[in-house]
Amino acid sequence: ANAAARHDVTLWARDAAQAAAIAQQRENTRYLPGLPVPASIDVRADAQDALCALAQAHDIAIVATPMAGLRGMLQALSGCGVPVAWLCKGFESGTGLLGHEIRNEVAPTLASGALSGPSFAQEVAQGRPTALVAASTDAEVRDALVAAFHGPSMRVYANDDLAGVEVGGAVKNVLAIATGLCDGLSLGLNARAALITRGLAEMTRLGVALGARADTFMGLSGLGDLVLTATGDLSRNRRVGLLLAQGLSLRQAVDSLGHVAEGVYTARTVVARAQQLGVDMPISRGVVALLDGRLKPAEAVAQLMGRDPAAEAG
């Protein structure tokens, strides 16, 4: 809706029935109920092999699937000659790859990037003020994203550190599960601030080891999205933590959301990649132990607090 105020926008959905319902009702009742889909947005469900033609009618294609759908969408859109940006935040299950690493595998020459930062979809759709980061190593992609989305209710900042922006978006989901758990166990505001701050430190360590710049993590996709997701009750990842603290099983928690909580699928990869690189990520490790059922919520907290003293930096 934000982009549609100034540009021709086509919304493509893989599910024809859902596309028809959105087109007719002018509302996505399943995923964003109560928020109008502007009449100017053309809603379609063309076959996937017709996606290229659809993309070529526009300046940029935006992929808004969970991480699990990104590979297929990049395959479908590679070779269309249209820049592509994804909104997904996470590491791909199975391969453990970030979005740009998937792109390197399936479409290495595709002009592409990520649009990320603190942005609950509901608030964006309501037109509330939001700031995003357009990340790409390709200046034309950054410019295309700014041209598409920068407007009265949305500021879009450019950043060429795609790896850093992607690590921020992926790791904050894992840390939001931890913070939801902390709040669900009523551990207090001191504990929440400590988790967010130490979480930012471990996110930054992993990002720098993966080639990102440390300052990126002080920006919108690092600190910004971490604060939003860890403290905002609209977050699905935070809700997973809150529900686990109430004693629900992981399956019950995930099923009750009705939406993807990427941190659940990303946590193991974060820890595995950190271990390969010799990076210590105690909070993420605790989340994985909890998700795997190896620790109960209170035991995960005790393990975190029981570690040896350490220097704050480094």
Ligand X SMILES: O=C(CO)COP(=O)(O)O
Active site residues: 172
Residue numbers 104-143 binding ligand X by CB under 6 A: 118-120
Exactly one of 97, 176, 212, 287 binds ligand X (CB under 6 A); that residue is: 176
* H/E segment holding residue 67: helix 67-77
174 binds ligand X (CB under 6 A): no
Cβ(303)–Cβ(284) below 8 Å:
no
Name the pairing type of β-strands 112-116 and 84-86: parallel
Token readout for 160 is 């060429």
Q: What is the rounded distance in angstroms from the CA atom of residue 42 to the CA atom of residue 164?
A: 34
Q: Please identify which residue in 52, 68, 227, 248 interacts with ligand NAI, judged by CB under 6 A.
A: 68
**What would the x/- binding string for ligand NAI be over residues 121 to 140, using CB under 6 A?**
x-------------------
Binding span for ligand NAI by CB under 6 A among 238-246, 257-265, 275-283, 289-297:
257-265
Residue with nearest beta carbon to ligand NAI: 69
For ligand X, the closer of residues 55 and 222 by Cβ is 222
How does DSSP classify residue 258? S
Binding residues for ligand NAI, rule CB under 6 A, total: 19
Strand order in the sheet with 112-116: 61-63, 84-86, 112-116, 130-135, 154-159
On whether 225 is known to bind a ligand per the annotation, the reply is: yes
Distance of closest approach, residue 125 Cβ to ligand NAI, in angstroms: 9
Tell me which of ligand X, ligand NAI, none is bound by residue 66, counting a contact when its beta carbon lies within the kind-specific cut-off of 5 to 8 angstroms.
Answer: ligand NAI
What are all long-range contacts of 59-64, with beta carbons under 8 Å and residues at least 24 apart?
59/7, 59/83, 59/144, 59/147, 59/148, 60/84, 60/85, 60/141, 60/144, 60/145, 60/148, 61/85, 62/86, 62/87, 62/115, 62/148, 63/87, 63/88, 64/88
Residue-by-residue DSSP string for 162-186 = HHHHHHHHHHHHHHHHHHHHHHHTT
Candidates 93-101, 126-134, 202-210, 258-266: pick the segment binding ligand NAI (CB under 6 A).
258-266
Helix (H) or strand (E) holding 85: strand 84-86
| Count of CA atoms in the C-beta half-sphere (13 A) of 55 | 22
| Residue placing its CB nearer to ligand NAI in the complex, 95 or 276 | 95
Residue 64 Cβ vs ligand NAI, minimum distance, rounded to whole Å:
6
Q: Which is nearer to ligand X, 3 or 226 (CB)?
A: 226
Q: Closest CB to ligand X among 84 and 176?
A: 176
Q: Cα separation of 259 and 117, whole Å?
A: 19
Q: Is 157 in the site for ligand X (CB under 6 A)?
A: no
Residue 119 interacts with ligand NAI (CB under 6 A): yes or no: yes
Binding flag, residue 14, ligand NAI (CB under 6 A): yes
260 annotated ligand binder: yes
Annotated binding residue 280: no
Nearest to 27 by CA among 41, 14, 46: 41
When asked if residue 264 is in the footprint of ligand X (CB under 6 A), the reply is no
By CB under 6 A, name the binding residues for ligand X. 89, 118-120, 173, 176, 225, 228-229, 235-237, 262
